[in-house]
Structure 1
Amino acid sequence: MTIRNFQTTGTDVGGSHFPFSIHRRITPSPSSSFTPWRIATQVVVPASSPLRRAMSRVSSPNTSGLPPQESKKLPERQAEPSEQKIISALKELYSCRPRESTYEVYNKDAVFQDPVGIATGADSIASQFNALVKVVVLFPRADIEKFRILKNPDGLPPGTILVDQDIAYYRDPNASSPTKTLNSLLTVFTDDKHMITRHVEEWDHLKDSSKEDGFFGTLNDHRKKITASLVNKLFHM
């Protein structure tokens, strides 16, 4: 028998409220003399709620084609000789020490995407990373604590590079521990000339929403393109 059904609200990380239902059902449990009743509780979350979307991101495949918990378990491999220049460039970018030659690994029409921006073209990508260097006063020190080149799962095109990395950011460059450590999955696609055609960064290996994810994904996709455009205008070198 069901003894209670009620509506309530929850709060997501951003502070938004959303409704959900709780259905509680009690049935006899004769097999246990100490627990005469068994209580089953079902939480029903609307499909459009922030909680449901967050739950979907945790289980959805990221750019590697695997859900986050699986891509984090991929074994490490050694870099191929043809990948060395790209690996060096990535380390320069994420330690906030890019040089003009760093961007030579990008195809002129390459696309860079992370949770806050989408940049199209090598010049725009350079503007994105150079902007990070120019605001480095917030975090004057960025250390690469982990940089694992991962073995590709089945289904990825030849020339794909997967990297699991931890970047430690310091407000105080002399501090013994970082202010924030950010884990991310880098998925880098290359052409037959070993130039980057697409560079995707996914924080904590979580799939980022895009226009393929419906209405909210389309809004987020548009927001990121606007962000990248503003950065390009402000910091283009």
Structure 2
Amino acid sequence: MSIGIPSTSTLNIETKDVQTAPGITLSQEQQTVVGSILDLFAGRPSLPKLALWRDDATFADPLTIATGRDRYAAQWYGLQSAFSEIERLHHQVKDAGNPILLDLKTRYVIKGINKEQTIQSVVAIHLDDQGKISKVEDKWDGKLPDGAISNAFRHLNAVTVPKIISVPKNAEEDAKRGN
């Protein structure tokens, strides 16, 4: 399925114990991809982890539709700026097909106001024929909004966040942030 996806150790992926539903088995490449996605959701982005994504990939959740490396990378690096705490409460891969489907429950604490929010979502990880991530959909409560107004705001967010959040340009800048 994939051609030369680096290993979890090469990418410094922190989530090595990927939980799967009974009867679900992931290939080594799928383990690497899912581990990297779980790290991103935990606010632990890095340039090597984002190298698993296509340049034209899309990240979509109820707040954004971010297409293109500059836009989706800013979304992941933005988690570090927006939240003082991110705690994964549960995760489980429930389908190893394409997309890979992952149940995820995460607790976030918003910086500055200390408001806590728990989000239960189904994450769909779409891979291209080289095993690179082409799209990640984070469906809160299993759904994404659909409609002209909500989609307009989601696209606006995707354009605005990269203007506020800087993404490291190289490994040295990434390391300075602790990634």
The corresponding residue for 1:200 is 137
Q: 1:229 aligns with which of 147, 156, 159?
A: 159
Q: Output the TM-score relative to the length of structure 2.
A: 0.73
**Corresponding residue for residue 11 of structure 2:** none
1:5-20 correspondence to structure 2 within 5 Å: none
Q: What is the aligned partner in structure 2 of residue 97 from structure 1? A: 44
State the partner residue of 2:89.
145
Name the SS for the 2:71 alignment partner: helix
Q: Which residue of 2 aligns with 1:106?
A: 53
State the match for 1:40 in structure 2.
none
The two structures, once aligned, show a CA RMSD in angstroms of 2.2
Determine the C-alpha separation between the residues in 2 that align with 1:220 and 1:200: 15
The reply to whether residue 190 of structure 1 matches residue 99 of structure 2 is: no
Which runs of structure 2 are paired with 1:133-172 in the superposition (5 Å)? 133-136=80-83, 140-151=84-95, 159-170=98-109
Measure, in 2, the Cα distance between the counterparts of 1:222 and 1:180. Answer: 24
Q: For the structure 1 residues 142 and 122, does the alpha-carbon distance in structure 2 shift closer, same or farther, using more than 3 Å as the test?
A: same
Aligned-partner Cα distance in 2 for 1:134–1:79: 32
Cα distance in 2, alignment partners of residues 111 and 194 from structure 1: 15
1:37-48 aligned at under 5 Å gives the runs: none
Aligned residues: 144
Contact 2:95/2:102 (<8 A) preserved: no
Determine what percentage of the aligned residue pairs are the same residue: 23
After superposition, what is the alpha-carbon deviation per residue over 1:100-124, rounded to whole angstroms, capped at 9, x for unaligned? Answer: 2120111011011110111111221
Conserved? CA contact 1:159–1:194, under 8 Å: no
Offset at residue 206 of structure 1 (A)? 2.1
**Which one has more relative contact order, counting CA pairs under 8 Å at least 6 apart?**
2
Deviations 1:90-141 (A, max 9, x none): 11111111122120111011011110111111221110111121122xxx22
CA distance in 1, matches of 2:141, 2:39: 20
Q: 1:141 to 1:109 in 2, by over 3 A?
A: same
Q: In 2 relative to 1, CA 202–160 (structure 1 residues): closer, same or farther, beyond 3 Å?
A: same
Query: How does the TM-score come out when normalised to structure 1?
Result: 0.56
